[in-house]
A = this chain, B = another copy of it.
C-alpha cells in the first residue's frame, strides 16, 4: 500500500472528481498526455463486454492516444444502445476537456451492471471541470477508481531516465481473461506502439492474467499502458522488466485485497509438461473454494490440494504417485507428516502470504498464479451489493 504522493511520469496530468453516481466519493478520473502517446490496451473477452470496452478497443487499436477516462460505481454494461451512446458521449466530453479527438480517448468503467449512467450528473460534472487538473497524484487517481477495494493500488519503477507508474482497481469478479478490471500504467519512456503492445501482452499474461479472486470474469476488464516518450528511449529489456515489476506489484496488491480476503495466496506449479498445464493446475488450486477456506482457517488440509490437482481430469499424464505438494518449502505429500508436524504447519498458514507449491513431474515448465482466501466477509460483501 502506497500512501505518499506519486507523481505521474513526464507528459501526463490527471484530474479527479465527484459525479455522484452512487455515493459521495470521487468516481471519475481523467489522465491525459500533452501530446499523442503510444498506447496498448488489453480487454476482457467476455461476450457481455460493455460499451466502454468496445469503444476503447476501437480507439486504442491505432497504438496512439491522448487520454483515459474512468468512471467508477457504474459499469455501463448490458445497457443496450443507450449505453453505447452514453459511452461515446463521455468520450466526446473528455476529448473536449483535454483538447483532442474522441478517437484518442480510452474509457473504462466498473460497478453495478445493467444501469445506465446518470447522464445529467455526468454532463454537469464535465461543465464544471477544468484541464489540466494539476496536483492530482497517482494515489488520489487510484482512489477515484475504487469500488469495493479497501485501499488504492499504485506501483512505480524507474528504468534509465524514465519512470513507470501504475494504477489498478478491482477486488471482486476477478479472474481476468486478457486483462484485469482496470489497470492503467503510464511511462515517460519512448517506445514504438508495436513494441509496447508486444511487451504489454507478455507482461499481462504472467501478472494480471495470473490472478483469480473468485473465478468470475468481469465484463469490463481493461489494462491500458501509455508511453509519453518524454524521457527519451531506454533499454527495452529494462523497460519490459519495469513494466513487469509494476504490473506484478499491482497484481499482488489486487489479490491480497480480494473481497473479504485476509491472506495473499500464491500457487506455483512446476515440473509441468508445459506452461498451459502448469497454469491450468495452478488455477484449479487457487480457485478451489475448499483450498481457499482451508487457507483461511490455517488448516493444513493438503488433501484438498491433491483434490484440486486431481480434478484437472484432462491431464492423464499426472501420476499421483509422482506429484509432490509443499506448503511454503515444507513437503506434505507424498511424505505424509505426523500430526504434530501438521500442527506446526498451521503456524505457517496463519501468515499473511501463503505459498502452495506443487511439482507435477511431467516436465520442466512452470507457472505462478495469485489469489486469496475465501472468508465469511466475501459472502457478506456480495450478498448485498446492489441493494
CA A321 – CA B218 in complex, angstroms?
18
The answer, yes or no, to whether A94 is at the interface (CB within 8 Å) is no
Q: Is A341 an interface residue (CB 8 A)?
A: no
**Contact digits for A372-387, partner B, Cβ 8 Å, 1 yes 0 no:** 0011101110111111
Query: Are B309 and A47 neighbours in the complex by a CB distance under 8 Å?
Result: yes
Q: How many copies does the complex hold?
A: 2
A346 within 8 A of B: yes
Contact present for A114 and B302 (CB under 8 Å): yes
The interface residues of chain B lying within 8 Å CB-to-CB of A376 are 376, 379-380
Tell whether, in the assembled complex, residue B216 and residue A48 are in contact, meaning their CB atoms are under 8 Å apart: no
Is the pair B293, A383 in contact by a Cβ cutoff of 8 Å? Answer: yes
Name the residue in A47, A77, A114, A375 with the highest tally of chain B Cβ atoms < 10 Å from its Cβ.
Answer: A47
A270 within 8 A of B: no
Contacts of A45 in B (CB 8 A): 313
Q: Is the interface of A mostly helix, strand, loop or mixed?
A: loop
Are A288 and B114 closer than 8 Å at their CB atoms?
no
CB–CB A313/B177 < 8 A: yes
A188 contacts B by Cβ under 8 Å = no
Given A294-B382, A382-B293, A318-B47 contact (CB < 8 Å): yes
- Check if A20 is an interface residue, CB within 8 A of chain B: no
Kindly list chain B residues whose C-beta atoms are within 8 Å of the C-beta of A36: none
Query: Max chain B CB contacts within 10 Å: which of A309, A312, A382?
Result: A382
Question: Does the CB pair A387–B297 fall under 8 Å?
Answer: yes
Asked if B48 contacts A307 (CB within 8 A), the reply is yes
| Bound CA–CA A311/B300 (angstroms) | 32
* A303 proximal to B (CB < 8 A): yes
* 7 chain-A/chain-B pairs, Cβ below 8 angstroms: A49-B310, A77-B307, A214-B289, A216-B311, A217-B310, A217-B311, A217-B313
